[in-house]
């Protein structure tokens, strides 16, 4: 079996987690790590057994021993870095959000198509075995006709000192709301007929909270909320005419779900619980569930081995659709990127 040789760009917290998750996987190798701080790259390389370190991203792009680059930088850097690596004909797995508006995402996808390499936004949730179970319950009609989805994903970014820097492309929808949106598009498809965000901005000008409503044909609804000023339960429910699936214990890195049927009163419902414990690892992680990056890495490798440029569980068309939804949500809350100021002015005139 061919080994997939990863280049890691850069050495921050999420890249550390990704590297720690996959460095002991069979047939995966962390080949090189690039960071503007060579010291940070070397420190991480030592921990995860990478051969090479670079103080420049261009050098990583030029490394002939790197097959695929994982991009774990701040959001605003995803666009230029995806371009850099895609033009160098590296496969690319880039953290969510892929871009800070859909225009960027469209350009990246065009470039990936032209380069003929594998390219994917790191919506890792979809690759957890628990998500396989969700999809199989849905496709087997276990909950009948799905009527709506609820979900919340929120964390207290203020008290953990997380930055909400507009210049870095941050904000609730991009940081975590994207997981709610991808759940809706996974269940109902990429094309809602209505997208509505209600919320408000932080003092730094990014979305602090956004209530997300998506409407699909036959009045199917996704009704969800994301926020970076409080910790919520981070659960989701998919509700159908014959039952409901509750995605528990942090739905974005899912390890536990319930299939429930009946009225929600003790004695009047039946519940089946499915557990999919995360892989074991003694390595240190910054974020809960990060060991689950293994699932995504393995799925990416399989797709590449099969000669695919897109992963069927996270195709380009859906990535683009998710970003168009996020643009609308962001604009509804009043969050425009600097190069969207004209659109903002137009919206204020309407």
Q: Which residues bind its own copies (CB under 8 A)?
A: 144, 147-148, 150, 152, 154-156, 158-159, 194, 196, 198-201, 208-209, 211-213, 215, 218-219, 221, 223-225, 227, 229-235, 237, 239-241, 243-244, 246, 249-250, 260-266, 268-269, 288-289
Nearest to its own copies of 168, 230 (CB atom) = 230
User: Considering the complex, what minimum distance in angstroms separates the CB of residue 251 from its own copies?
Assistant: 10
| Proportion of the chain in helix, strand, coil states, percent, rounded to 5 | 40, 25, 35
User: Considering the complex, what minimum distance in angstroms separates the CB of residue 241 from its own copies?
Assistant: 5
Residues, the chain? 350
Q: What is the DSSP string of 92-113?
A: EEEESSS-SSHHHHHHHHHHHH
Structure tokens belonging to residue 109: 């996808």
Compute how many other C-beta atoms are within 10 angstroms of the C-beta atom of residue 239: 17
User: Considering the complex, what minimum distance in angstroms separates the CB of residue 94 from its own copies?
Assistant: 25
Residues 6+ apart with CB under 8 A from 1: 26, 27
User: Considering the complex, what minimum distance in angstroms separates the CB of residue 4 from its own copies?
Assistant: 29
Nearest to its own copies of 43, 249 (CB atom) = 249
Is the Cβ–Cβ distance between 61 and 34 less than 8 Å? Answer: no
Nearest to its own copies of 109, 235 (CB atom) = 235
Radius of gyration for the chain, computed over Cα atoms and rounded to the nearest angstrom: 20
Closest C-alpha to 323, from 118, 128, 107, 152: 107
User: Considering the complex, what minimum distance in angstroms separates the CB of residue 250 from its own copies?
Assistant: 6
Q: What is the DSSP string of 6-45?
A: EEEE--SHHHHHHHHHHTTSTTEEEEEEE-SSHHHHHHHH
C-alpha 250/C-alpha 237 separation (Å) is: 12
User: Considering the complex, what minimum distance in angstroms separates the CB of residue 127 from its own copies?
Assistant: 19
Residues 6+ apart with CB under 8 A from 161: none
User: Considering the complex, what minimum distance in angstroms separates the CB of residue 231 from its own copies?
Assistant: 5
Nearest to its own copies of 317, 347 (CB atom) = 347
Q: At what angle do helices 293-305 and 13-22 cross, to 10 degrees?
A: 70
Closest C-alpha to 340, from 43, 172, 104, 20: 104
Nearest to its own copies of 80, 217 (CB atom) = 217
User: Considering the complex, what minimum distance in angstroms separates the CB of residue 218 from its own copies?
Assistant: 7
Q: Which residues of 194-213 are buried (b: 16+ CB within 10 A; e: fewer)?
A: ebebebebbeebbbbbbbbb
Nearest to its own copies of 158, 306 (CB atom) = 158
User: Considering the complex, what minimum distance in angstroms separates the CB of residue 192 from its own copies?
Assistant: 10
Nearest to its own copies of 52, 281 (CB atom) = 281
Helix (H) / strand (E) element for 139: namely helix 129-139
Nearest to its own copies of 138, 239 (CB atom) = 239
Closest C-alpha to 214, from 241, 185, 236, 234: 185
Nearest to its own copies of 7, 197 (CB atom) = 197
């Amino acid at each position: 079996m061919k080994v997939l040789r990863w280049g890691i760009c850069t050495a921050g917290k999420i890249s550390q987690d990704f590297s720690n998750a996959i460095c002991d996987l069979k047939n995966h190798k962390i080949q090189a790590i690039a960071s503007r701080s060579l010291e940070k790259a070397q420190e991480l390389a030592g921990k995860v057994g990478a051969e090479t370190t670079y103080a420049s991203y261009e050098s990583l792009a030029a490394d002939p021993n790197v097959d695929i680059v994982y991009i774990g930088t701040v959001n605003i850097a995803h666009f230029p870095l995806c371009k850099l690596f895609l033009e160098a004909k590296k496969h690319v797995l880039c953290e969510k959000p892929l871009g800070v508006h859909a225009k960027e995402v469209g350009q990246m996808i065009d470039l990936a198509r032209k380069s003929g390499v594998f390219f994917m936004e790191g919506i890792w949730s979809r690759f957890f075995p628990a998500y396989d179970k969700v999809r199989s319950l849905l496709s087997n009609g276990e909950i009948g006709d799905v009527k709506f989805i609820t979900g919340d994903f929120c964390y207290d970014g203020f008290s953990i000192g997380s930055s909400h820097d507009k210049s870095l492309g941050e904000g609730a929808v991009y940081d975590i709301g994207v997981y709610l949106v991808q759940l809706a598009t996974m269940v109902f498809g990429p094309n809602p007929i209505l997208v509505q965000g209600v919320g408000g901005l932080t003092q730094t000008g990014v979305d602090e909270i956004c209530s997300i409503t998506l409407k699909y044909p036959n009045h199917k609804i996704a009704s969800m909320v994301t926020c970076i000023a409080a910790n919520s339960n981070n659960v989701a429910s998919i509700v159908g005419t014959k039952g409901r699936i509750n995605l528990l214990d942090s739905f974005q890195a899912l390890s536990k779900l319930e299939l429930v049927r009946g009225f929600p009163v003790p004695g009047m419902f039946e519940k089946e619980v499915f557990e999919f414990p995360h892989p074991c690892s003694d390595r240190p992680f910054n974020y809960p569930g990060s060991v689950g990056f293994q699932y995504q890495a393995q799925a990416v490798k399989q797709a590449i081995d099969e000669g695919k440029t897109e992963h069927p569980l996270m195709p380009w068309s859906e990535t683009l659709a998710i970003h168009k939804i996020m643009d609308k949500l962001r604009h509804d809350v009043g969050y425009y990127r600097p190069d969207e100021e004209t659109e903002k002015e137009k919206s204020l005139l309407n």
